[in-house]
Structure formats: structure tokens, C-alpha cells
Amino acid sequence: MKNNTFKIPVTILLSAIACFAIGIYGALPWWSFVVTNFIIALAIPQKPLVSFLTGALGVGAIWAGLATGIDMANNHLLSSKVAQILPLNGSYVLLIVITALIGFLLGGMASLTAAYLRKA
């Protein structure tokens, strides 16, 4: 893939799809997307920063999207309770943000690591 304008959205999409697909298997660890992101970023070489962002956005979007969808269908019943336990002052918005942030950070770091490995 030479055309960078395609490469970026394709990587994001791939990373998101892989994250979702492997996440379906509840018996696998919750961080399995770290492995898929790593492999994707190894296969599709990009600059480290770009690699980080594509991996981060892929997983972050899936985590944010899933959490938001679930939360809306649940009328924030459970998220409001968990946001008191954690404690986030009962803010489900903050809980979704933190959820997405974890996906974003870890997804990005996995891809970044792969990008550096290719260049090492």
C-alpha cells in the first residue's frame, strides 16, 4: 500500500475489526487486542506516531462505541452505580471516557511498539 491517504483509515478499520472480533471470545484475555494491533502494525509499516494513532483510534473507537451503545440501551443504570464505586462521582460520561481511554492508550502503545520493532 503506497497511498498513505488510504493506509491510515484502512489500518484504523482493521485494528477496530480485529479488536472486536477477538474480543468476542470471552475465554481469551481482555487485552488480546494488544496482540492483534501489534500484528497489524507489523504488517502495515507506518511512522511511529501515525502507527500509535491508528492503533489507538481503532481500539478506542470500538471501546467507546460499545460502551456508549450498551450504556444508552441500559439507561445508565449500571454505569451510574459503577461510577460511584470507582469513584467517579456517579458520572457515567466520565466512566465511558476512562473506558475509551484505556482502549486508546493500550491499542496505541501496542501499535507503536510494533512500529519501532520494524525500524529496530
The residue range among 7-15, 21-29, 39-47 that interacts with another protein, by the rule CB under 8 A, is 21-29
CA distance 47 to 113: 11
What is the DSSP code (8-state) at residue 93? H
Give the dihedral sign, CA 22/17/101/97. Answer: negative
Among 11, 15, 36, 79, binds another protein (CB under 8 A): 79
> 27 Cβ partners below 8 Å, 6+ apart?
none
The binding site for another protein (CB under 8 A) comprises: 20, 23-24, 26-27, 29-31, 34, 48, 62-63, 66-67, 70-71, 73-75, 77-79, 81-82, 84-86, 95, 98-99, 102, 105-106, 109-110, 112-113, 116-117, 119-120
